[in-house]
Homo-oligomer: A and B are copies of this chain.
């Protein structure tokens, strides 16, 4: 019985996989304010050109630079676990495997792209990165990466999280990053909000605006902005997860995978595990691939495939994606990383192509699943990760009913050691499911109905 499957140092994948090269329909380009496809150089004030090239690349395989591999190999290859204790508890004939991305120093999959982005920026001569963070996972991952590569790092953290999650802020500071509450008095965007509402709790939209403004207003040209999800190059950097998983399954003779599951907020951990398997599916393999989201923020299950902005303040180009509308404000569930109005264009298009079957779950079911997982497998999951676990448990129970020896693979995207207040509330009976008011959803979707439609949406199912 294989409990934890390792790869040795020299088995780490040496190329990233670009799903964009294999999707049946080409990925739609982002649009500028004039409604025309944006050219790479228009993005160059925000991102370094080497990452922009990755963003628009149609190459299938992109070589991972040695220096990036050297840093990733501090914690990669991550272990692949067989969830034997959970299987026994559920008395399921399913074999459940999970990639443990929680072993990275910041505790999630986020550093896979943080390290790559910091490295490419440094290579391009950039000295300083800015970013935003909500719950704090992304901010701490970028602080970690910048620390290892000797870049300055400034993180605009949504004020309400900054106040409620002081440990995340301390983590970033310990890695030498500057972390400040957003809205801040340091940017035009921040000052404008603070003038109107000095007590503003902030939002991811505001924090993005501040971080981008900070980057583009550095006249020395030495500062750029970094984003932790949604964009093509971010998904690319995460594919090392799925590529490792394939090698690990192969190593123990597990020939076919029936089901690949991951939680999805902006889409990066889900993409990381699933894209190499989507490739198999495009080539004829029979695999159910399931991104899981909260019912209270149903980006994939109840929205449209549209051109929409990535931020509330509409500073980003229009991206072809599933979106609840850039004005959408999701209910305050604990899985902060899943409270995003949009979905990565690559994931969105894979949904449109019929390659994925998204699912939405309620918070209480996810906490129940997280507790069962913690008490059988022993690892406490992040609130986001527990959405994947809840879906896995649904499928393992179904396998038991059907008497089928299904192979289920999921991404354990991060541990929950720094998110224990949610567990506390759940165990005390103080948590509940949030029902999304229909009128809120309709209003938000209505506000984007006149935005351009991606070609594939116009011609296809949508």
Binding site for B on A (CB under 8 A): 1-9, 70-71, 73-75, 81, 84-85, 103, 105, 107, 144, 147-148, 167, 170-171, 173-176, 371, 374-380, 415, 417-418, 420-421, 423-424, 427
Contacts and interface: CB of A to CB of B under 8 A. Distances in A.
Contacts of A380: 105, 171, 174-175
A9 B9 contact: no
Contact of A174 (B8, B371, B376): B371
A180 to B, nearest CB: 15
Contacts of A378: 71, 74, 105, 144, 147-148, 175
B175 A4 contact: no
A119 to B, nearest CB: 14
Stoichiometry, copies per complex:
2
Contact of A105 (B75, B379, B418): B379
28 contacts: A1-B70, A2-B9, A3-B73, A3-B74, A4-B9, A6-B8, A8-B8, A70-B84, A74-B377, A74-B379, A105-B378, A105-B380, A147-B374, A147-B378, A148-B375, A167-B417, A167-B420, A170-B420, A170-B424, A171-B417, A173-B427, A174-B371, A175-B374, A175-B375, A175-B378, A417-B417, A417-B418, A418-B418
Contacts of A71: 378
Nearest to A376: B148
Nearest to A115: B378
Contacts of A374: 147, 174-175
A71 B417 CA distance: 20
A76 to B, nearest CB: 8
Contacts of A7: 6
A176 B70 CA distance: 39
Nearest to A83: B74
Given A147-B378, A167-B418, A417-B417, 9 more contacts: A3-B73, A3-B74, A74-B81, A74-B378, A105-B380, A167-B417, A170-B420, A170-B421, A174-B420
Nearest to A146: B375
B73 A4 contact: yes
A137 to B, nearest CB: 12
Contacts of A73: 3-4
Nearest to A3: B73
A348 to B, nearest CB: 33
Contacts of A417: 107, 167, 171, 417-418
Contacts of A5: 9
A46 to B, nearest CB: 26
A376 B176 CA distance: 11
A363 to B, nearest CB: 16
A9 B74 CA distance: 19
Nearest to A251: B8
A376 B375 CA distance: 34
A35 B176 CA distance: 55
Contact of A423 (B9, B85, B103, B174): B174
A423 B170 contact: yes
A144 B379 CA distance: 9
A251 to B, nearest CB: 9
A331 B146 CA distance: 36
B105 A103 contact: no
A415 B415 CA distance: 13
Nearest to A377: B74
Contact of A74 (B4, B148, B415): B4
Contacts of A85: 148
B173 A3 contact: no
